[in-house]
Structures are given as structure tokens and as C-alpha cells.
Homo-oligomer: A and B are copies of this chain.
Amino acid sequence: MTRAVRLALLGCGTVGAEVVRLLHEQATDLAARIGAPLEIAGIAVRRLGRDRGPLPVDPSLFTTDALSLVKRDDVDVVVEVVGGIEPARTWLVEALRAGKSVVTANKALLAEDGGTLHDAALDGGADLYYEAAVAGAIPLLRPLRESLHGDTITRVTGIVNGTTNFILSAMDATGAGFAEALDEATELGYAEADPTADVEGFDAAAKAAILASLAFHSRVGAADVYREGITEVTAADVASAKAMGCTIKLLCIAARGLDSTGTESVSVRVHPAMIPLSHPLASVGDAFNAVFVEAEAAGQLMFYGRGAGGSPTASAVLGDVVAVARNRLAGVRAASESAYAALPVRPIGEAVTRYHISLDVADRPGVLAGVAGVFARHGVSIATVRQAPAAGGPAGRGDDAVLVIVTHAAPDAALAATVEELRGLDIVGSIASVLRVEGSL
């Protein structure tokens, strides 16, 4: 009989406990698929005494000394579900340098300092897998890493944060404002007590960095990602989107293309955007995740599923565990990080996008000409102008009107400068809403 492949588990919260449970329940199947049984060598936790419910595991396996555990000779694979930068980085770097394969769900660490982990994996001749770090259970990174390696990916557009998608879906369904929808999400357990990482887009930005790195064979870090959260999205924005046949989603977008100097580069950003209801991402509701991939030969692809939660995340972790365990038994390691293209990251000002702008204007002759002139001065072409009813009266009556303008694609900097100049115009009362637009209207 082949010897067992032995796992060190770092962390035993929701995901860790589910990994333990699945390892136990599916032991026979996992052993058949790997060719050897999996055994838990130890479980590192912060406090030993905590009640973790009934877990099918020998209590003597728990330890608070993660660093010693990951270096133990009888450990083959380290599974990290702790999260955060430190001490996770130290543990994983030590594990990889000691030749242990690592499976991690730690998107923050990968986005902050993935290069250090990849380098350590190369040094130690070990595998580094992280399918669970982006879009939970959706098999997404392996297709990007492997299946599409014969193709050129041009763009990745994703809904990768379940909390914000739940909030925006609720705002769309009920007309509620952000604060009210956040309260509902918190009550239902979709938002954490401190929702900053989700609603300010930090979580999505980390995932965007990981996706961009894989899609474009380059090292993209969290700091390279332009980021706007959803806290400024108003009920009026949502209503305005509806009037356009659109919905608002927090998108992560990674696109390759030429910058203003003609250099091949990538643009990576996270921000709320209007997308038409006909776009495949528009119907991704509640806490679901989906990632839309465009490649030169493959065309349009979409991957859809649950992005978070103990079971879905544990499914992704165990899929990676099976892969690295097989590699160890075969005495091989998977292909290393592929960062040969080393494309530079463009600043947000050079991202090419479209704006939807809603303006309160004075209702008198020459106003549209004045407004249009501002767009023209910044080289921004207008796609559509619509006059909507002003608050308090039908369109065109009284002293005020609302102009809703959608632009053609232009550099973000030119669009931002246009909005800035509009703010100073005396014919413009206020700018009610500025939103980027993605997809074909």
C-alpha cells in the first residue's frame, strides 16, 4: 500500500472545519482518485480551547505552533485557510522553501506579495495552488492557467465579491439605498460586522490582481489595481441605470491593449458600472459570482457559481489538494508561475471606458450647446443625450431639466476632466450621477 499523503491544516474556522469534514466523509473517494490516502498531520489554530463543534478528528492534532508544524518531516502538503498577510506569509514561505506543497485560499496575500510565494515555490521545488482564492468554488484559475494557454486572453470582466453583489441586487430589486441594503446584507450574514474590505472594493481588487496576473502572464499586485467601492452608489443611480435598460454591478476588469505611447499594457480596475440587462453578467444575482472571459480564438466564455461560503471554498481547496497530492506521488511539480510577458500596468487615466452622466441643468436655450462644448473640448464623443423629468416636474417644464448623457469610449482621464469642467459651469446646477458603463448598450 502506498504511504499516505499528510496534510498540515492552518486555520480551522468555517472553511477549515469544512475541509476536515470533507476529508473524513470522502476519504475513500479521495484515496481512489489520488492513489493514496490523505491524512491530517496537524491543525494549527490560534487558541486550543475554542469550541469548534463535533469535528471528525483526533483532538491531539491541534497545535498553536504553526511554524513548527509546516516544517515537520511528516508533512507533505500545507493547506492555509487563515487569511491575512502575516503570519500567513512567513508560514507559507517556510513551508514552500522546505519543499512542502501549498494550497491556499489567501487572496490578500497573493495579491499583496504573490511573487514572494512563487519564488519560494520555485526555490523549494514545491507546488503552489490557490483555486479557492478567487470566485470560491468556480473552477476558474485552472482554466486560465492551463486550458487557455494556447490562446490570447484580451479581457476578463468579473463579479467576484458576493457581499457587494447581494447589496446591489437588493438595491436593484427594492429601490433601497446603499445603507438600507447593507443593513439587510449584515442581518442575513452576507456582510461582515466591518464590511470595509467588501464594500470599498479591496477584496475584489485583490482578486482582480490575481486574475490579471494569470490572464496576462504578468505580475500584477493589489497596488496596481484602480479601486472604487459601492458606498457612493445611490438609489437614484440604480433608477437611472434601470431607465437605460441597465443594472449596476461592482466589476473587476482586466484588459490588455495599447497605452497612449503604443506600448502593450494592461488596465486593471474595480468599480461600480452600469451594464445592459442583455449582458451575461447582468443576471448574476444575490451572492453569486461570475467571470466573463474574452479570448482571441475562444471568443466569449463565462464561469458562474458560488463565490464564498464554507462548502464551496472547501471544494476548491480539496480539488487543489488532490492535484498536489498526485503530483507528489508522481514526484513532479506543476508548471510554475508564468509571468514571462511582464506587461506594464496602465494608470486608470489611460483606461478606455464610457461614462453615464446625469446633470441638473437650467432649462433655457443654449444649455445643451454649452454642455456639449465641454465634452468636445476634452475630445470626448457623446453617444446619446436624453432629457429626463427634473425632480418636482415633468421634463422641460419649470426652470430645471435633467440631462442624461452617455459617452462613447474615451480615456478615463479625459472623461474625469470633462466632469470636472461641467461642475464649474454656471448652467449646470449639480451632477446627480456619474457612472462608468461597460458592455454594448
Please list the residues of chain A having a beta carbon within 8 angstroms of any beta carbon in chain B. Answer: 18, 22, 26, 29-30, 32-33, 131, 137-139, 142-143, 146-152, 217, 280, 283, 295-306, 309, 311-312, 314-323, 326, 330-332, 335, 338, 340-341
Residue of B nearest to A30 (CB): B150
Hey, which chain B residues are within 8 Å of A311, CB to CB?
Answer: 296-299
List the B side residues contacting A217 at CB < 8 Å. 29, 32-33
Residue ID in chain B nearest A304 by CB atoms: B302
- Apart from A137-B299, A297-B318, what 18 extra A-B contacts exist at CB < 8 Å? A32-B217, A32-B341, A137-B151, A137-B298, A142-B143, A142-B146, A146-B319, A147-B316, A148-B315, A149-B322, A150-B315, A150-B318, A150-B320, A151-B319, A280-B304, A298-B312, A301-B303, A303-B303
Given known A33-B149, A340-B32, contact A305–B315 (CB-CB < 8 A): no
Query: 7 tightest CB-CB pairs across the interface, nearest first?
Result: A150-B318, A139-B147, A139-B143, A137-B298, A297-B315, A301-B305, A298-B315
CB distance from A146 to the nearest CB of B (A): 6
- 23 A-B pairs (CB sep. < 8 Å): A22-B150, A29-B341, A32-B338, A32-B340, A32-B341, A137-B298, A137-B299, A146-B319, A149-B318, A150-B318, A150-B321, A151-B315, A151-B318, A296-B311, A297-B311, A298-B315, A299-B306, A299-B311, A300-B305, A301-B304, A301-B306, A302-B305, A304-B304
A316 x B298 contact (CB < 8 A): yes
CA distance A138 to B153 in the complex (A): 13
Write the nearest CB–CB distance from A24 to chain B, whole angstroms. 13
Contacts of A338 in B (CB 8 A): 32-33
Contact of A322 among B138, B150, B296, B298 (CB under 8 A): B150
Cα A343 to Cα B331 in complex, Å, equals 30
Q: Nearest-CB distance from A226 to chain B (Å)?
A: 26
Closest to A309 in B: B299
Please give the distance in Å from A422's CB to the nearest CB on chain B: 38
Residues of B within 8 A of A137 (CB): 151, 295, 297-299, 301
Partner of A142, one of B142, B301, B332: B142
Q: How far is the CA of A217 from the CA of B317 in the complex (A)?
A: 20
What is the chain B residue whose CB lies nearest that of A339?
B32
Given A301-B138, A312-B297, A340-B147 contact (CB < 8 Å): no
Our pick among B303, B309, B319, B321 for the contact of A148 (Cβ within 8 Å) is B319
The interface residues of chain B lying within 8 Å CB-to-CB of A138 are 301
Given the complex, which residues of B lie within 8 Å of A149, measured CB to CB?
Answer: 33, 318-319, 322-323
CA A312 to CA B26, docked complex, whole Å: 36
- Nearest-neighbour CB distance to chain B for A95, whole angstroms, equals 20
Whether the Cβ atoms of A305 and B314 lie closer than 8 Å is no
Q: Which residue of B lies closest to A38 (CB)?
A: B150
What separation, in Å, do the CA atoms of A18 and B296 have in the docked complex?
Answer: 12
> How many Å lie between the Cα of A317 and that of B335 in the bound state?
18
CB-CB under 8 A from A139, the residues of chain B are 139, 142-143, 146-148, 301
Collect the chain B residues with CB atoms within 8 Å of residue A305's CB.
Answer: 298-302
Query: Which residues of chain B have C-beta atoms less than 8 A from A147's C-beta?
Result: 131, 139, 142, 316, 319
**Nearest chain B residue, comparing its CB with the CB of A144:** B139
Kindly identify which residue among B296, B317, B323 contacts A146, using a CB–CB cutoff of 8 Å.
B323
In angstroms, Cα B22 to Cα A22, docked, is 42
- Please state if B32 and A297 are interface contacts (CB–CB under 8 Å): no
Which residues of chain B come closer than 8 Å to A151, judged between CB atoms? 22, 26, 137, 315, 318-319
Q: CA A147 – CA B305 in complex, angstroms?
A: 13
A296: which B residues are within 8 A, CB to CB? 311, 315
Bound: A235/B417 CA distance, A: 55
